[in-house]
A and B are shown apart, each in its own frame.
Chain A
Amino acid sequence: MTNELDIFVGNTTLIDEDVYRLWLDGYSVSDAVGLRVRSGILEQTGATAGVLQSDTMDHYRTFHMLERLLHTPPKLLHQLVFQIPPSRQALLIERYYAFDEAFVREVLGKKLSKGTKKDLDDISTKTGVTLKSCRRQFDNFKRVFKVVEEMRGSLAGNIQQHFLLSDRLARDYAAVVFFANNRFETGKKKLQYLTFGDLAFCAELMIQNWTPGAVGEQPPDPPPYSQVDDMDVDLDKEFLQDLKELKVLVADKDLLDLHKSLVCTALRGKLSVFPEMEANFKNLSRGLVNIASKLTHTKDVRDLFVDLVEKFIEPCRSDRWPLNDVRLFLNQYSASVHSLDGFRHQALWDRYMVTLRSCLLRMYHD
C-alpha cells in the first residue's frame, strides 16, 4: 500500500526550522530524511522513518510553494494564502537570503549573468555547497541586484526596503551588489586569504565615501529610506578623475622626500620595523598614489584589491610588519600630507586615504 497523496495543511503554516535549513542547503527529500534520521530525531520522538519521510515531503512542498513569495518578500507579508506569524516570516526571509561564505567568495565581483551561472557547477564542486543551494544564492544576488541597480537612495536601505532583510544582511547584500556592479577582482590566488567580511567592510566604506552619494558631507549613517539624490552603486566618476591630482605626491621628488622625512621623524623609535619602513617608503607611497591615479580606467578599478595587496600588503608582510606598525604608519602617512605646503588637494586626499587606510588595515592579516 502506497500513499499516492499525503498532505497536511495547518491554518497557521507549520515551519520546521531544521527542515527549512536542509531545504535551503539543497538536499533532496531522501537526503534530508537520511540526515534527520542521523540527528537522532526518531529516538527522541518515537516516530518511524515513514512518518519522517511524509513530514519532510510535506515541509518541502510548503517551502516550494513559499519560494515564489520569497522572491518578493513584501508579497509574503501581504499574501493571504499562508498564515504565518510575523516572526516566522522574518525568519523565512532572512534564512532564504542568507548565503554561504564559501559561495559568496567565489562569485563576489563577478558579473551576475548566465555565463557565470554555468560556472555554478564548478563552484558547487569546489565549495561543497550543493548546486541547488548555489543556484538559490546566485539567483538571490541577481534578483537583489536587478531590483536595486537603478535605484536612487541608500543601497542598503533600498535592499532592506524591498527585501525586508535585517540590517546586517542588507549591508552584506549592498556589498555584493557593489562588487558585482564594479566587477572588482576578488578571485585571484593572492586575494584568497581575504574573507567576505573583509571585502564587505571595504565595500561599505567605499559606498560611504567614494560614491556620488557620499558628496556633500553626508552623515556616515544615512537614514535607511532617505530619498536623497544618492547613487550608491557606482563609484563617483568625478572623484576618480580628481584622484589623478594626487600623482604630484610621488611625481614631485621634493614633495615625496618631504613627505618621507615628515613620516620618518614622527615615527622614529615608534616602529619595530622602522628601517624597513624607511627603506620602502617611496615604493609604498608610489604604490598607493599610483593606485589612486589609475582609477579612471575600469580595468584598474577592477584590479583595485589586487593592486592593494601587491603594492602595499605584500611588501609589508614580507618585512613582517606588525599590524600596529601598519596602523601607525598609515595614520602618519596620511596625516603628514596636511603639512605639505605645496599640496593643495587635502580634501581629496582625505576622501581617498580615510577609506583606503581602513581597508588596508582590515585586509592586513594572514
Chain B
Amino acid sequence: MPGKLKVKIVAGRHLPVMDRASDLTDAFVEVKFGNMTFKTDVYHKSLNPQWNSEWFKFEVDDEDLQDEPLQITVLDHDTYSANDAIGKVYIDIDPLLYSEAATVISGWFPIYDTIHGIRGEINVVVKVDLFNDLNRFRQSSCGVKFFCTTSIPKCYRAVIIHGFVEELVVNEDPEYQWIDRIRTPRASNEARQRLISLMSGELQRKIGLKVLEMRGNAVVGYLQCFDLEGESGLVVRAIGTACTLDKLSSTAAFLPACNSPSKEMKEIPFNEDPNPNTHSSGPSTPLKNQTYSFSPSKSYSRQSSSSDTDLSLTPKTGMGSGSAGKEGGPFKALLRQQTQSALEQRGGSPHRFCRNREFPFFTLTAFPPGFLVHVGGVVSARSVKLLDRIHNPAFVGIMGNTRSYKLLDWNSFNSDEPETRDAWWAEIRQEIKSHAKALGCHAVVGYSESTSICEEVCILSASGTAAVLNPRFLQDGTVEGCLEQRLSWQPGFFSIGQEENLPAGCGFCHIPYDELNMPFPAHLTYCYSCRKQKVPDVLFTTIDLPTDATVIGKGCLIQARLCRLKKKAQAEANATAISNLLPFMEYEVHTQLMNKLKLKGMNALFGLRIQITVGENMLMGLASATGVYLTALPTPGGIQIAGKTPNDGSYEQHISHMQKKINDTIAKNKELYEINPPEIPEEIIGSPIPEPRQRSRLLRSQSESSDEVIELDLSHGKKDAFVLEIDDTDAMEDVHSLLTDVPPPSGFYSCNTEIMPGINNWTSEIQMFTSVRVSRLSNINLTNQTLNKNFNDLCENLLKSLYFKLRSMIPCCLCHVNFTVSLPEDELIQVTVTAVAITFDKHQAVQTTKTHVEKSLQRASTDNEELLQFPLELCTDSLGSHPFSPAKAVSVEKASPLTEGHFRQRSAPACANSTVGVVKMTPLSFIPGAKITKYLGIINMFFIRETTSLREEGGVSGFLHAFIAEVFAMVRAHVAALGGNAVVSYIMKQCVFMENPNKNQAQCLINVSGDAVIFVRESELEIISTQQPIASCQPACGGGEIAT
C-alpha cells in the first residue's frame, strides 16, 4: 500500500439554486478516487454549505496516484427523484507526489459543469502520504519532476541533460462509441474529460519511468498533445527532455525545506529509488556519471510498455546515411567521433547501440551558455497519413494498455494499436535525424511535433534546429542552470580546436558543415564578428536567441501566411493531393519568410514555427518567427525587382515605382528597428566565397518518402540583392502583400520568442491573453489569391486589434506570440493567439545605455579592436539618437530575465482587501521583475464545454469568451490551491471549437498546461527573511477564507 490520499471537503459558496421552491440547495459531495467513493452529509437549504467533513482516506498504489485524478462531485440531494449533479472538480494530485513541489492542495476550486460552466466554488484540502516501497519492477515513477518550461528551470541547475523522451497512448474516443447515442451530452463529456485525464496521467507516469531508467530525475520541455482522430480514436502523446536537475542553493535559501541541493535530494521521504546513482549525481560525484553524460540518444528498455516505439519497425534510413561523404572538416569529424564513442560506451553491445541510438533531440529552446556550439539550420519533416480504424478483434487480447482497460468501466477494448502511431512518429524522427546529419549536426534542438487532422487525413509534422552541442561541456557535469554561468564563457573553456579564442556571441552562427562539401549550395562569408569562421548569409532556427548572441537593434515578429485550395477528395486520393501540395506550400512559406526578413533588413530568424493545417478544401500554412540582425552574419542585401518585359515603358515605370517603395520600406524598417550596423571595409571580411546561386538552409521533406531528402531550390538570384521576378499577376500580388504588412504602432514591439532582442528593461506589468477569431469565407470565387488575402487580413487585423486593446500598456512588447490556425469547417478559418504583453521602461533604457556606452568608450580607448566585438549594451528608445556610438549592438544576455539589476522595481498594486489572490499567467518561463523561488508542479488540464442554448449564452462569441475565462479561472484556482502565485510556460495547446447554430448548439475542447510556481518580487526579496517559510502562508490563507 504505497500511498494514502486524504481529502477533506470544507465548504461551498455561491452554489446555484437547485430547488426552485425554496430558492436554495441541499448540497452534498461525493469524493471519488479510482473505484472508491466517499460522501459528505447533506447540508440542507444553503447556497453556502459548510460541510467540514472528516478526512476521507484512500489507500492506493502510487501508480494509481499518478494516473488517476481526484474527482469531486457536488450534488443536490433530492428525496423523491434522482440527485442532481451541480458540477465537478478534477484535481491532479501529481504535484503532491514529489517532495520538492507542493505539500498540500488547499483552496477554493470552481465547480465545473460541462453544460453550465462554473457553478459556485468548493473548498477542498488534499494531502498525500507516500510509503516506501523498494519494488524494483514498479510501474510508477513518483518523484520525477515535470516542467513545461523549455529551458532549465530557474531555480535548478542541470547536472546532465540526458535527451529525448517520448511516449504515446491510444484509446477509443468516448464521443464516438455506441453508448454515446444513448447517454446525455454531459455524461459523454465527463467520460471524455476523465479519460483524457487518466491517459495523460498514465502517459506522464510512463515518461517518468523512462526518465528513471535514464537515471534522470526530471523532464524539461514537456509537451503533451491530444490528437482527436475521431472514429479512429484518441491519441495522447508527449515529448520532453530528460535531465538530472539539481536545486540551486541560492534558491534553497528561500525555501527552508531544502537547505542544500545535495541534502535535499536524499531527503525525499518515501521516494523509492531503485538506483542510488540517480540522486547522487550532484557536482561532487561526477565519476559515476561520466559514461552517461552525453546521452541524447540514451537508451532504455522499451519492452516495459506495450505502447512504445518499436524501432525495429522503422525502416532503412537509420544511421550513417548522412555521415558518408558529406562530412568533412577534421575537427567536426573528431567531434562526431567523440560523441559516438560516448554513445557507444553507453550503449553496451553494438547491437543494442544500433537499436538504441535513438533520437538526439532536445525539446529545449534555451540552453545553458556554451551548450550550443553551432547551429546548422531548421530541419523539418512532414508526413501525410490515413487514419484507419483497426477492427480486427484478434488485436484485442494483446493490445494495449491494460491499465486503462481496467479503469474504464465503459471501455471493453482498445480499438487501435499505439504501435501504428509510434511507427509513424519514429519514421518522422528518423527523417529529422538524417536531415540534421546532412547539415553536419549530431543533434536537434528546439524540437517539436504537431499534427493536423481533417476527417481521416492526418499530417504529422516535426521540426527542430540541427545543432552541434558541446559534449565536453555536458560531460563535466557542470551544466549550470543559467543563473551563475555567465563566467563560463571564457576562452579555452571549450575543447573544440580552432574555436578556442573566439569571442562570445558568434560561435553558434558558424557553419557546422564543411564549406567545400556542403549539403546544399549556400552563400558563405567570413564571420562578421571574428572573421575566422564561415557563416551563412541567413540563419533560420526554431530556438530562442542564445543569451550570448549579439544583435543589432530590435527584433520583430515575422509571419508568412499562405492558403492553397485543394479539391475535396476521399482517402488515398486526398492524401496524395495533400502530399503533392505540401512541397509547394513549404517553398512559398519559405520564400515569404525570406522576403519579409530582407524587407526588415534582418538576417536571422529565431523561434521559427511553421504550421500546416489541413481542411476539407484547402491547406493553410502559417509560419511565425522573430527576425533579428545578428552581428556575426553579413548585412542582408536589398530586394530587387525584375520585370519580364523590359520594353514596355509603363511597365518599366511601374516596376521602378515598386522598387522604390520596397527600398523605402527597407530603409524605414531599419530605422524602426534601429538596425544600423557598423560599416566594415570589404578587405577585412574578404570576398565572399564565389557562389553563383544563393540558397537558404531549410531542409525538409514530406510524405511517405522518408528515405529521400527533398531539397528545394530556394534560390532567388544573384549575389547581393534578392531578386524578385515579376512575370505574372501572382508575383505582383506577392510583392503587394509584402508591402501590406503594417508595422506595429509606435511603442509596440512583438516577437514570438521568450524575450525581445534589444529590450532589457522590463517592468513588472504583464498581461497574458488569448484571442480567438473565426472567419467565414464567402463561397463565391474562391481563388488562391482571394484566400491568401483573406487569411492575411485576418491575421493582420487580429494583430491590429491586439495593439489597440493593449494600447494602455505602451511602451510594451508582445512576447511569445503564438498563432494557431485550424479549419473547423469548409468555409471557416479559426485563428487562436496566445501571447503576453510586457511593459518596459523607456526611460531607464536610456540611463543604462549611457553608463554602458561610457564604459565601452573607456575600453575603446585602450583596446580599439575590441570595440566592435564588445557587446555594447544599448537599448534605445524609438528616437534612437545617441551621440556616443553609431553601432547599436545589444547583448541579449543582458536582456535576459536573470539580470535582476535591470528591472525597474515597481511594486505590484496593493491588493490586500481582496480575498482572491492574484495569480499571474504567462507563456514565458519567467516573470519580469520577480524571482521564481519554487516550482510546484505541472498544470495540465483538459476541459469540454457544451451548450444547447447558444443564443441565450450570447452566441458563439459569448460562449467561447465565457469558457476561456472559466478555463483561466480554473487554472488560477489550481495554482492558488498548490500555494502558487503564477503559471509560467503556460500554453493553450488545443482549442477545438465546433458549432451548429441551426441547432443552437456549440461545443469546445480546451487543453492548457504550464508550470505552477511561487515567485517573489525582487523589490520584496530583500524584505523577506530567509527563515520565513513562503509555502506555509498558504494553508493559513485557506483557513482564513473558510471562515468567511
B33 contacts A by Cβ under 8 Å: no
Of residues 956 to 994 in B, which have CB atoms within 8 Å of A's CB atoms? 956-958, 960-962, 964-966, 968-970, 972-973, 993
B919 at the binding interface (Cβ < 8 Å): yes
Contact (Cβ within 8 A) B118 A80: yes
Q: How far is the CB of A310 from chain B (nearest CB, A)?
A: 46
Contact (Cβ within 8 A) A80 B957: no
For B921, list chain A residues within 8 Å (CB).
Answer: 11
A248 located at the interface, meaning its Cβ lies under 8 Å from any Cβ of chain B in the complex: no
Bound-complex Cα distance A77 to B121 (A) = 13
Q: Which residues of chain B in 785-819 are interfacial with respect to chain A, using CB atoms and an 8 Å cutoff?
A: 790, 793-794, 797, 800-805, 807
A9 touches B121 (CB 8 A): no
Q: Is A3 an interface residue (CB 8 A)?
A: yes
Q: Is A65 an interface residue (CB 8 A)?
A: yes
Residues of chain A lying within 8 A (CB to CB) of residue B121: 80
In the bound complex, CA of A11 to CA of B958 (Å): 17
Alpha-carbon separation in the docked complex, A85 to B910 (Å) = 9
Number of A-B contacts (CB under 8 A): 141
Docked-complex contact B794 and A1, CB < 8 angstroms: yes
Within 8 A of B (CB), among A8-42: 8-14
A61 touches B957 (CB 8 A): yes
Assess whether A43 is interfacial by the CB under 8 Å rule.
Answer: no
**Given the interface contacts A1-B775, A1-B794, A78-B14, does A7 sit within 8 Å of B960 by beta carbon?**
yes
Q: How many residues on the B side are at the interface (Cβ–Cβ under 8 A)?
A: 59
Chain A residues with Cβ under 8 A from B972's Cβ? 11, 80, 83
Contact A55 B805 (CB under 8 A): yes
Q: A6-B957, A61-B954 are in contact. Are A83 and B793 (CB under 8 A)?
A: no
Task: Answer yes or no: A239 CB below 8 A from chain B CBs.
Answer: no
With contacts A11-B768, A86-B911 taken as known, whether A61 is within 8 angstroms of B790 at the C-beta atoms is: no
Which B residue sits closest to A13, measured CB to CB? B965
A7-B914 contact, Cβ under 8 Å, with A1-B790, A79-B14, A80-B121: no
Are A65 and B800 within 8 A (Cβ)? Answer: no
* CA gap between A89 and B918 in the complex, in Å: 13
Within the complex, which residue of B909, B915, B920 is in contact with A77, where a contact is CB–CB below 8 Å? Answer: B915
Partner of A80, one of B772, B777, B801, B973: B973
The yes or no answer to B774 lying at the interface (CB within 8 A) is yes
Contact B968 A86 (CB under 8 A): no
CA distance A10 to B920 in the complex (A): 11
Distance to closest chain A CB from B163 (angstroms): 34
Bound Cα distance from A55 to B961, whole angstroms: 13
Chain A contact residues: over half helix, strand or loop, or mixed? mixed
B848 at the interface (CB under 8 A from A): no
A1 touches B793 (CB 8 A): yes
Q: Mask for A73-104, Cβ within 8 A of B = 1, else 0?
A: 00101111111011101000000000000000
Chain A, residue nearest B793 (CB): A1
Q: Are A50 and B772 in contact (CB under 8 A)?
A: no
Interface check A347, CB cutoff 8 A: no
**Residues in B neighbouring A13, C-beta threshold 8 A:** 965
Q: Is A46 an interface residue (CB 8 A)?
A: yes
Contact B961 A9 (CB under 8 A): yes
B773, CB-defined interface residue at 8 Å: yes
- Given A6-B957, A54-B801, A61-B954, does the pair A80, B771 have CB atoms closer than 8 Å? no
Instruction: Give min CB distance, A139 to chain B, whole Å.
Output: 19
Report B100-130 residues with CB < 8 Å from chain A CB: 108, 110, 118, 121
Q: Is B964 in contact with A5, judged by CB distance below 8 angstroms?
A: no
Residues of B within 8 A of A10 (CB): 767-769
B909 touches A7 (CB 8 A): no
The answer, yes or no, to whether B770 is at the interface (CB within 8 Å) is: yes
Contact between A9 and B776, CB atoms less than 8 A apart: no
- Chain A residues contacting B805 (CB-CB under 8 Å) are 8, 14, 55, 58
Q: Which residues of B contact A47 (CB under 8 A)?
A: 800, 803-804
Does any Cβ of B come within 8 Å of A318's Cβ? no
List 6 A-B pairs, minimum CB-CB distance, nearest first: A5-B774, A10-B769, A11-B768, A9-B964, A11-B921, A7-B961
* Other 17 A-B pairs with CB < 8 A, given A11-B972, A80-B121: A1-B794, A5-B956, A5-B960, A7-B773, A7-B957, A8-B805, A9-B771, A9-B961, A10-B769, A11-B767, A12-B767, A51-B801, A51-B804, A57-B957, A65-B962, A86-B913, A86-B914
Residues of B whose CB lies within 8 Å of any CB of A are: 13-14, 108, 110, 118, 121, 745, 767-778, 790, 793-794, 797, 800-805, 807, 828, 830, 909-911, 913-916, 918-921, 954, 956-958, 960-962, 964-966, 968-970, 972-973, 993
